[in-house]
């Protein structure tokens, strides 16, 4: 359900905002039909989230097409002109470069980078924000980027997990869990993946595949005596769309 200023928004009130059959309308319909309640202060606020979800999907496809390699943390690597590799295998923004330039370099010089799937999802979120926020605002909000896993998230990105049940909302990050992973290949214990809105998901290291193909790939990396299949969790990981919009809206008012 969608609410604008706490009032339910009838789906018919939004049908002329985006082309019929477009991904934007698919996102709107997914939000509208959800059992979750999505609260917005205005239609512009709603459209901002929809557009940001579109940018997340575009960034996912862009990273998939790049030469950004899959590596476990102990073997990760980065362009040291922009990032300092930490002992844990994360990438810490250097002080003499701007955040936007450093994120963009991952896509410009992708062959100089390699890391695992959670880090790739965080990179996708940042790339989407670079492409939707004014550059000065992005640099101000995300001045201390540390790319690693979900434990190193900037408070202004505000990544959180939500119970979504059967919802499939394009732009959400989902998780495929492999409960009986082969202990010799623990990197296959699961896959973070962006819902691309067309029945496929992007997961770094696996690529773009359907739900069934994602599960099949993980099942091929279970311990030999396993009888429990991998599966898609009923949770979704999202940035704090409301907080990001608040900061963005302030730049429009000034």
**For residue 202, which of 188, 213, 216, 189 has the smallest C-alpha distance?**
213
- Answer yes or no: do 135 and 176 share one domain: no
What's residue 11's pLDDT? 65
Q: How far apart are CA 232 and CA 213, in angstroms?
A: 12
In a domain, 252, yes or no: no
- Answer yes or no: do 187 and 230 share one domain: yes
Helix (H) or strand (E) holding 109: none
pLDDT digit string (tens) for 107-127?
Answer: 999 999 999 999 999 999 999
- Answer yes or no: do 15 and 92 share one domain: no
Residue 167: both structure tokens together: 């919802």
What's residue 13's pLDDT? 65
- pLDDT confidence bin for 19, thresholds 50/70/90: confident
Q: How far apart are CA 240 and CA 244, in angstroms?
A: 6
Average pLDDT, the chain: 93
Which residues are 83's β-sheet partners? Answer: 93
pLDDT digit string (tens) for 193-243?
Answer: 999 999 999 999 999 999 999 999 999 999 988 989 999 999 999 999 999
Residue 117, SS3 per DSSP: helix
Q: CA 20 from chain center: how many Å?
A: 25
- Answer yes or no: do 113 and 140 share one domain: yes
In this structure, of 52-56, 86-90, 149-153, 180-184, the range with the lowest mean pLDDT score is 149-153
- Answer yes or no: do 147 and 71 share one domain: yes
Q: How far apart are CA 247 and CA 254, in angstroms?
A: 11
- Answer yes or no: do 146 and 167 share one domain: no
What's residue 253's pLDDT? 59
Contacts of 149 (CB under 8 A, 6+ apart): 90, 116, 118, 119, 122
Q: How far apart are CA 217 and CA 230, in angstroms?
A: 9
Report whether pLDDT(95) > 80: yes
In a domain, 3, yes or no: yes
Average pLDDT on 165-190 reads: 95
What's residue 96's pLDDT? 93
Number of domains in the chain: 3
- Answer yes or no: do 31 and 77 share one domain: no
| Enclosing domain of residue 27 | 1-40
What's residue 151's pLDDT? 78
- Answer yes or no: do 196 and 220 share one domain: yes
Average pLDDT on 4-28 reads: 82
What's residue 101's pLDDT? 98
**For residue 159, which of 91, 236, 44 has the smallest C-alpha distance?**
236
Q: What DSSP string runs through 41-103?
A: SSHHHHHHHHHHHHHHHHHHHHHHHS-PEE--GGG-B--TTTEEE-TTS-EEE-TTS-HHHHH
- Answer yes or no: do 64 and 76 share one domain: yes
In a domain, 22, yes or no: yes
Q: How far apart are CA 242 and CA 40, in angstroms?
A: 8
What's residue 218's pLDDT? 96
In a domain, 28, yes or no: yes
The bridge status of strand 146-147 relative to strand 91-93 is antiparallel
């Amino acid at each position: 359900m969608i609410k604008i200023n706490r009032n339910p928004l009838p789906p018919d009130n939004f049908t002329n905002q985006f082309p019929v059959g477009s991904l934007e309308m698919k996102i709107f319909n997914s939000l509208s039909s959800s059992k979750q309640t999505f609260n917005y202060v205005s239609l512009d606020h709603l459209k901002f989230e929809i557009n940001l979800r579109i940018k997340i999907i575009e960034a996912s496809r862009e990273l998939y097409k790049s030469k950004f390699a899959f590596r476990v943390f102990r073997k990760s690597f980065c362009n040291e002109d922009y990032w300092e590799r930490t002992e844990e295998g994360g990438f810490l923004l250097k002080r003499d470069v701007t955040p936007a330039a450093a994120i963009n370099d991952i896509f410009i010089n992708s062959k100089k980078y390699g890391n695992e799937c959670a880090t790739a999802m965080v990179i996708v979120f940042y790339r989407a924000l670079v492409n939707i926020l004014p550059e000065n605002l992005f640099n101000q909000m995300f001045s201390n980027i540390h790319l690693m896993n979900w434990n190193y998230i900037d408070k202004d990105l505000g990544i959180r997990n939500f119970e979504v049940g059967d919802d499939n909302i394009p732009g959400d990050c989902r998780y495929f869990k492999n409960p009986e992973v082969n202990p010799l290949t623990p990197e296959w214990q699961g896959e973070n993946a962006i819902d691309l809105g067309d029945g496929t998901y992007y997961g770094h290291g696996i690529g773009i595949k359907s739900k069934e193909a994602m599960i099949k790939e993980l099942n091929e990396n279970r311990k030999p005596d396993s009888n429990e299949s991998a599966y898609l969790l009923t949770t979704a990981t999202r940035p704090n769309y409301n907080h990001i919009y608040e900061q963005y809206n302030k730049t429009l008012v000034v």
